[in-house]
Structures are given as structure tokens and as C-alpha cells.
Amino acid sequence: MAADQPLFSYGTLQNPDVQLDTFGRRLSAEDDVLPGYTVDYAEIEDTRVVDLSGLSVHPVVRPTGSPLDKVVGKVLWVTEDELDAADEYEVALYRRVSVVLASGRTAWAYVSV
């Protein structure tokens, strides 16, 4: 079996209900920080995601390139199949990219398109 993948979450993927629905389990998580990004907010029109998260406005991060900017979040440990499930959960406003966190760890994160 392949090793779990680190996925940096700064929003609804930290929600236990979202995790249970999307992954079928609660995920282990560790605090971390994404440097060089800032948080914006976007209106979500996908009713399934809104109903599940309980929020119609979700955070979305965008790169600034400034070392002064940072986004606080958690690293979630997911399997390849769960990463695919996260891709399905995230709406078209997001794309998954590889980022380097303040801990030095490389992880996946969903950022602004």
C-alpha cells in the first residue's frame, strides 16, 4: 500500500462532517503554515458542498510571493484514493498544487485558479 500523502487544509476539509462524507473517516492532522500566500473568500454555488460544510462562503488562498504573508492550517494525511475524493469535493474555484510549508514539508494544497 502506498504511503499517505500530505494535504494542507486551511478550510472546510478540517471539518469532521466534511471528512466523514468525503473520506469515510476522520483524518489525522498536524498544525503547519503555508508561507507566501494570503486568504481570500469566495462564494460557493455547489449546493452539495454548501450543504455539507454549512457555509456558502469558503476561504481560498492565492500566492503573493511575499514571505510576510502566511496561511495557518493543518496537514491532513490522505491516501491516493482520498486525494481523488478531495479533488471531487473541491469546486472549480480551486486547483491542487504542490507547495512547501513552513515546516519544510512538501504537501498538496488547493489554491485559487
Instruction: Examine the pLDDT at 26 and tell me if it is beyond 90.
Output: yes
Task: Report if residue 11 sits inside a domain.
Answer: no
pLDDT-based confidence at residue 92 (cuts at 50, 70, 90): confident
Task: Report if residue 70 sits inside a domain.
Answer: yes
Average pLDDT of span 25-50: 91
Mean pLDDT of the chain: 91
Q: Which one-letter DSSP state was computed for residue 101?
A: -
Which phi and psi angles does 53 have, rounded to 5°?
Answer: -85, -25
Task: Report if residue 55 sits inside a domain.
Answer: yes
Instruction: Examine the pLDDT at 84 and tell me if it is beyond 90.
Output: yes
Q: Name the residue range of residue 28's domain.
A: 18-112
Instruction: Determine the pLDDT at residue 2.
Output: 57
Task: Report if residue 13 sits inside a domain.
Answer: no
More confident residue, 48 or 71: 71
Instruction: Examine the pLDDT at 73 and tell me if it is beyond 90.
Output: yes
Task: Report if residue 64 sits inside a domain.
Answer: yes
Work out how many domains the chain is built from and give that number. 1
Instruction: Examine the pLDDT at 33 and tell me if it is beyond 90.
Output: yes
DSSP bridge partners of 11: none
Task: Report if residue 6 sits inside a domain.
Answer: no
- DSSP class per residue in 45-87: --HHHHHHHS-SEEEEEEE---TT-EEEEEEEEE-HHHHHHHH
Which phi and psi angles does 92 have, rounded to 5°?
Answer: -65, -10
Instruction: Determine the pLDDT at residue 1.
Output: 46
DSSP bridge partners of 52: none
**CATH value at residue 40:** 3.10.490
105: left (phi over 0), alpha (psi -120 to 50) or beta: beta
Task: Report if residue 7 sits inside a domain.
Answer: no
Instruction: Determine the pLDDT at residue 59.
Output: 84
Instruction: Determine the pLDDT at residue 109.
Output: 96
Task: Report if residue 88 sits inside a domain.
Answer: yes
What's the CA gap between 68 and 40, in Å, rounded? 16
What's the CA gap between 27 and 24, in Å, rounded? 9
